[in-house]
Amino acid sequence: MQIARVALDVPLHRFFDYLVPVGEALSTTDIGRRVRVPFGRRSKIGVIVDLPSSSDHPLAQLKVLEEILRDLPALPDDWFRLTEFCAAYYQAPLGEVMLSTLPAGLRRIDPPKARTSQRAVKSPPVQEAPELTDEQRVALAAITGAAPGFNAYLLHGVTGSGKTEVYLRLIARALAAGQQALLLVPEINLTPQLEKRVAARFPDAGLVSLHSELTEAARSRNWRAALEGRARIILGTRLAVFTPLPELGLIVVDEEHDPSFKQQDGMRYSARDVAVFRARERGIQIVLGSATPSLESWANATDSRTRGRYTLLTLYQRAVENARLPTVQRIDTRLEKLQDGLSGALLMAIEKRLARGEQSLVFLNRRGYAPVLACAACGWISRCTRCAANLVLHLADGRLRCHHCGFESRVPKNCPTCGNQDIHPFGRGTQRLEEVLAARFPQARILRVDRDSAKSRKQWEAMVEKIHAGEADILVGTQMLAKGHDFPKLTLVGAIGPDAALFAADWRAAERLFAQLMQVAGRAGRADLAGEVLIQTQFPEHPLYAALVRHDYPAFAAAQLKEREQAGFPPYAYQAMLRAEAPKMAEALAFLAAARAWPQAETHQDVMLYDPVPMRLARRANFERGQLLVESPSRRALQSFLTEWLRFVDAIKAPSRLRWHLEVDPLEF
């Protein structure tokens, strides 16, 4: 009897042996095929990983494969190496990793049936390549002139400097060499305009997209086209990094700094870091692009101790003729009385744009009407009953909503505690800002752009078209509007309330704020109209804002890296976070304390285990949450420790409702 070893999507660090049905014969070319197998009382989809000559279990105990699925080619060797690396580095079960990288439709017992007739897609008009700037030529020459093999480039270009054009030229080169190109973007909302631009440049190249808003059938169809080599350009979000590509020759990661590239459940991987490993393993070039690179990438490109891990290429000038970087001004809100959160200088600047027929963007990274509803008489505030957070007032829907667990309730007519009818919203979100601006500028067409108004890709595309058509005068938006978008008539950006991030508990907050403000500032003045950015702050002297005024990312990054080195933070240390959640905080902390008490920990002298503490959001969805930080100056030492330690953690007896996970290279603290 022939044996097939199968990987399954289960949280166990092992594979499962099955007997091959009578009449079937498998060869090594079938390793990587999907199979349907009996598992417990139901069937599951798995992947053949080996054809061993024997099993550790008696043959009589082995079940028989139900079906060998031959509708797709076998998964290739480099896909196996990629998933094996991820399972080892992120300390996740290999079967879980392998199956999670496949489209959902290919993991189902009853996959969705593909439509026989597909809706015709209107092709965009073919676009000719524009003339390159001198800086773009230098960057391209550095990449195309390099010796064959693995090379990693950090393309640091100011907003509007033409990084995308560099990507397109490199993709053209890969296609001409008979290779496939993988282009990763952080969010679905960045995909439509980039998709159109790539399709217009390469109308016959076989472009497919891979992201979560596709139907299961469409995602499976596009993934299959990539696997079979019919798709030559693959544009996708983070999971697309695992797409099997037999002729992959180039990887591009756009907005490489974006935290959306980090998966926050299941295997908590960084798509950017996985992409770099994949490029190295395949011996190909990878380009990481950003106006505000992550400090890890910046250190890899500029710190002599990393021995030039990445090559730094810089675009200092905007690509459009006569387009200049916007002027950035700080408005000291200590000296000026605000009108509903808006300074007189900002209101006057908006008025000037309205008179000139130009667009303004008021940026506030807080959706809803107000962060909290409160009673001044008794002190009641709208807290979430399931989380250690407040319910946000969404006045347009008449709802109080938790942005952490999704709980919502109707807005009370009076105080639930004392009955006082005089309850008020405190603070402001985008809905309230929209209301204030509508009252101040009744003649203006105001468009609010946040996750409440643009819940789907279709809604988002309609809003972008409206902005491009000049059908909005004032935009009120969150970070959705901060990156990757090119609005020629937008000449003013006003940033409201950015100071909170300067004193946040998370030591990455300053890096995120600088990136956010640089990106949103970059929306202004991208054509031949001059742009202006106004930042309302109580701390105008802060070095972060001073660097922003100068558009000086290198100086900001150098200062931040110096602080991190002194504090022993990444990228000068390597971290992992063990988190536990349970109905009671005592149970979560007790589990973490038991994990910390591993007797062999003392033998790993280069590894530091901190004390278990509650998480910043200590309760979420009725679970109390704690965390335990593990840190080392050596990545190798940390990985060695984690591999041994997790065997001990796995064996700890815990309450039935306690859940735990480990995150390597955590972004959130």
Question: What is the per-residue pLDDT for 116?
Answer: 46
| pLDDT tens-digit readout, 234-280 | 999 999 999 999 999 999 999 999 999 999 988 999 999 999 999 99
CATH (domain of 194): 3.40.50.300
Q: Does the pLDDT at position 114 exceed 70? A: no
| pLDDT per position as a tens digit, 623-648 | 999 999 999 999 999 999 999 999 99
For residue 651, what are the contacts with CB-CB under 8 A and spacing of at least 6? none
- 175 and 220, same domain (yes or no): yes
- At residue 9, does pLDDT exceed 80? yes
Query: One-letter amino acid identity for 303?
Result: D
Among 532, 561, 590, residue at a domain's last position: 561
C-beta of residue 403 within 8 angstroms of C-beta of residue 410: no
Q: Tell whether 491 is covered by a domain.
A: yes
The amino acid at 613: V
Q: Which two tokens stand for residue 183?
A: 């282009």
**Dihedral angle, C-alpha 164, 170, 172, 177, nearest 10 °:** -160
Cβ neighbors of 32 (< 8 A, separation 6 or more) are 47, 48, 74, 75, 76, 79, 80
Do 341 and 482 lie in one domain? The reply is yes
Q: Check whether residue 356 and residue 446 sit in a common domain.
A: yes
| Number of helical (H) and strand (E) elements in the chain, helices listed first | 17, 28
Give yes or no: residues 155 and 301 share one domain.
yes
pLDDT digits (tens, 9 = 90+) for 287-336: 999 999 999 999 999 988 876 799 999 999 888 776 788 999 999 999 98
Three-class SS state of 328: strand
Q: What is the CATH number of the domain that holds 28?
A: 3.40.1440.60
Q: Are residues 509 and 647 in the same domain?
A: no
* CATH code for the domain of 615: 3.30.70.100
Domain that holds residue 640: 574-664
Give yes or no: residues 176 and 304 share one domain.
yes
What's the CA gap between 647 and 662, in Å, rounded? 12
Asked if residue 77 belongs to a domain, the reply is yes
Per-residue model confidence as pLDDT tens digits over 370-397: 999 999 999 999 999 999 999 999 998 8
Last residue of a domain, one of 68, 92, 107: 107
Same domain, 581 and 551: no
pLDDT exceeds cutoff 90 at 221: yes
Q: Tell me, yes or no, whether 669 lies in a domain.
A: no
If asked whether residues 353 and 433 sit together in one domain, one would say yes
What pTM was computed for the model?
0.93
The answer to whether residues 146 and 266 belong to one domain is: yes
Same domain (yes/no): 94, 234: no
- Total domain count for the chain? 4
Q: Are residues 525 and 650 in the same domain?
A: no
259, part of any domain: yes
- Residue 409 counted as domain residue: no
394 in any annotated domain: no
Asked which of 530, 561, 592 is the last residue of a domain, the reply is 561
Asked if residue 214 lies in contact with residue 222, where contact means CB atoms within 8 angstroms, the answer is yes
The answer to whether residues 368 and 551 touch, using CB atoms and an 8 Å cutoff, is no
Is the backbone of residue 545 left (phi > 0), alpha (psi -120 to 50) or beta? alpha
pLDDT, one tens digit per residue, over 583-605 is: 999 999 999 999 999 999 999 99
Q: How many CA atoms lie within 13 A of 563 on its CB side?
A: 12
Cis peptide before 571 (omega within 30 of 0): yes
In a domain, residue 86? The reply is: yes
- Residue listed under structure tokens 């992201």: 211
Whether 204 and 256 map to the same domain: the answer is yes
Q: Long-range contact list for 543-550, CB < 8 A, 24+ apart?
A: 544/502, 544/510, 544/513, 544/514, 545/330, 547/514, 548/328, 548/514, 548/517, 548/518, 548/521, 549/328, 549/329, 549/330
How far apart, in whole angstroms, are the C-alpha atoms of residue 383 and residue 150? 52
What is the DSSP annotation of 599-621?
GGGGG-TT-EEPPPEEEEEEEET
Residue 603 lies in a domain: yes
Mean pLDDT score of the chain: 93
Alpha-carbon gap, residue 310 to 303, rounded angstroms: 10
Across 528-658, the runs of DSSP E, i.e. the strands, are: 532-537, 574-582, 608-609, 613-620, 623-632
